[in-house]
Structure 1
Amino acid sequence: MPEYPVPESESQFEENFRQIHPLMKDTEAYYESSRCLFCYNAPCTLACPTRIDVPLFIRQINTGNVAGAARTIYSANYLGGVCGKVCPTEELCEGACVFNKQDVKAIEIGRLQFYAVNKVVSAKSRLFDVPSGKVTGGKIAGGKIA
């Protein structure tokens, strides 16, 4: 494994850890989502290991329903925000985008995914209702060790 030099200044450190793909602004997300064709039997969804309904969440972003987009992402993948950053989307969903066959830049699905999740999490919005716990008098198994 190659050795990498330790950053010696704050600027070197910031350069090493800057975002490769910066967070989308609202207008960028709207523009990018408006490019999607919302394919039936979308190849991007089929290429996604977690089978996120990509056309649905992109349409939700496009119509201003960012919380709905985040809900769609999280309902298929509890790590939706992380996957929007670290998943190799160029090879999976973006690699399967129909635009690639037409020599048109694929939809930036990973960035849109991270945009939706980050926007909702940053706003501390509640995506799912937590069921109220009924007191049953039961105890957690394994509470005592002999």
Structure 2
Amino acid sequence: MLASVITVVSALAASVVAVPDVQAREVLASWPATNFQKACTPGHCQAMFDISAPAGYAKDAPAFKVTCKAPQNQAYVKCESASPLAKDSSVQSMFTDGASKDAMKISVFHIWNEGATTFNASGSVEVTPSATGFTLPVTSLTGIA
């Protein structure tokens, strides 16, 4: 009896290990990025790119068109507006090491206010330094009243 229980538990454990624990995230919107570059000086690297979104890409979100200059492995940095942003709206970005040594993880978030509610739309994507552009999937939208 004990041998049967051990066999069943072992089989269940093996089946759990064989199933990846990865859930596909719903893509709420996509932001196109162009003019991507990675620039490095001794001790400092920076990802630079232009990124934009149309008005209404998610729940009455305002449009934006910005240039981001994100330093590697540092806090989010505010992107520079290429066109007027809606009042109380900002876009910030950062980049960190990717899953492989040849990848960079670019993260961007857009914050805006609607009345007393602050919204934050964000996403991340991994790119190679040789890329000239990418599409950033927006996978999170939160609102705090």
TM-score (norm 2): 0.28
Structure number with greater CO (CA < 8 Å, separation at least 6) is: 1
* Greater strand fraction, Structure 1 or Structure 2: 2
* Greater helix fraction, Structure 1 or Structure 2: 1
